């Protein structure tokens, strides 16, 4: 599935998690999947915990995050001037 197809799986419903991005209209937030991946969970473990979830859903979360941060600049450390 191409990136646009993946991104169509991410939806927003103001009545679910106050409008945070969710997967295919279900009560599972993109941030939750990203948090599990960041904590070291494998896609296989995540899929076991959510039987309705598909591998493409995890890819969709990553594609969504990539699009978001692709237009931001985050400076986690102070930038030093050249000496």
Q: Which domains does the chain have, with CATH numbers?
A: 3-69 (1.10.10.10)
Which pLDDT score is estimated for 77? 60
Each residue's pLDDT tens digit, 21-64? 999 999 999 999 999 999 999 999 999 999 999 999 999 999 99
Which pLDDT score is estimated for 33? 98
Which pLDDT score is estimated for 50? 97
pTM of this prediction? Answer: 0.81
Q: Using 50, 70 and 90 to split pLDDT, how confident is the model at 69?
A: confident
What is the DSSP secondary structure assignment for residue 17, as one 8-state letter?
G
Which pLDDT score is estimated for 45? 97
- Say which residues have a Cβ less than 8 Å from residue 49's Cβ, sequence separation at least 6: none
């Amino acid at each position: 599935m191409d990136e646009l197809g993946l991104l169509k799986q991410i939806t927003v419903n103001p009545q679910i998690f106050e409008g945070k991005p969710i997967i295919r209209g279900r009560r599972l937030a993109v941030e939750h999947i990203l948090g599990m991946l960041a904590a070291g969970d494998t896609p296989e473990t995540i899929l076991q915990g959510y039987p309705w979830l598909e591998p493409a859903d995890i890819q969709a979360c990553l594609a969504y995050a990539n699009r978001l941060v692709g237009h931001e600049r985050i400076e986690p450390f102070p930038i030093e001037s050249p000496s």
